[in-house]
Amino acid sequence: MIENQILVPAADGDMPTYVAMPSVPNKATAVLIYMDGFGPREELYAIARRYATCGYVAVLPHLFYRLGSPTFLPTNLKGRKLQPEQVAANDATTLELVRQDTLALFNFAAKGGLGRKIERWGVVGFCMGGRHAVAAAAESPDYVGAALSVHGGRMVNNNVRLDGSSHLLMPQCLVPVYVACAKDDPSCPPEHQTILSAEAAKTNGLVTVETLDALHGWSFPERWCFDRKASDWIWEKSLSMFEAVH
């Protein structure tokens, strides 16, 4: 396996980006991983490496590069509040800014910047990244062939005039999108999940919303909220969706 930290020329500077790939990639599709609100770290690198073992080029950009590329310690006790600096970084990482960064990454990869020409992507976003995964599917169908939002937060944004809201983008999706919500999730409460399902119903089955019997953050094995069944389901779901991308 080959692992690199590269700089991608992005909208407002060079965006640090982690890349994991097999020595001989055998998938035409690459995997874009949108980080959660804690930033790139070993938990997410491990997910990228896992996709690489399946033949994919896996790419994890640091979406906080405008803020100096900080990372934050994940909360690992039930009920512990997030750091104010982490919340502020999440607030600052708007749909529009990430849209610009995503297009910069796609254009960079299409020109061979990752070592080979890549024009088709599967996208998966965790927590904060969930809303950006939906936005990428809605706004970049020429590049994105499938997307998953995994226990996404702020999927319905009450400050829509300031940042837009990913739920409003769902009817624009022209590719398969799977939105997996968590139970008892303050960042995506039941009333928001109902709104998501209503928007998904407008897409003729392209967008699917499902609530899993697992808690927010279930994807990370070292967390108190880890759920093996839900994690395995998302893994297999992503592989099946990405395999169908052409």
Residues 191/44, Cβ–Cβ less than 8 Å: no
Confidence (pLDDT) at 24 = 83
* Helix (H) or strand (E) segment spanning residue 79: none
Q: What is the CATH number for 183?
A: 3.40.50.1820
* Helix (H) or strand (E) segment spanning residue 195: helix 190-200
pLDDT tens, the chain, 246 aa long = 899 999 999 989 999 999 999 988 788 899 999 999 999 999 999 999 999 999 999 999 999 999 999 999 887 657 677 888 989 999 899 999 999 999 999 999 999 999 889 999 999 999 999 999 999 999 999 999 999 999 999 999 876 555 678 898 999 999 999 999 999 999 999 999 999 999 999 999 999 999 999 999 999 998 999 999 999 999 999 999 999 997
pTM for the whole structure: 0.95
Indicate the length of the chain as a whole number.
Answer: 246
Instruction: Region of 106 please: left (phi>0), alpha (psi -120 to 50) or beta.
Output: alpha
Q: What is the residue type of 100?
A: Q
Domain holding 98, by residue range, is 2-243
Q: How many domains does the chain have?
A: 1
Confidence (pLDDT) at 159 = 67
Confidence (pLDDT) at 187 = 92
Confidence (pLDDT) at 161 = 54
Torsional sign, CA 112, 40, 25, 148? negative
47: which residues sit within 8 A by CB, 6+ positions away?
33, 58, 219
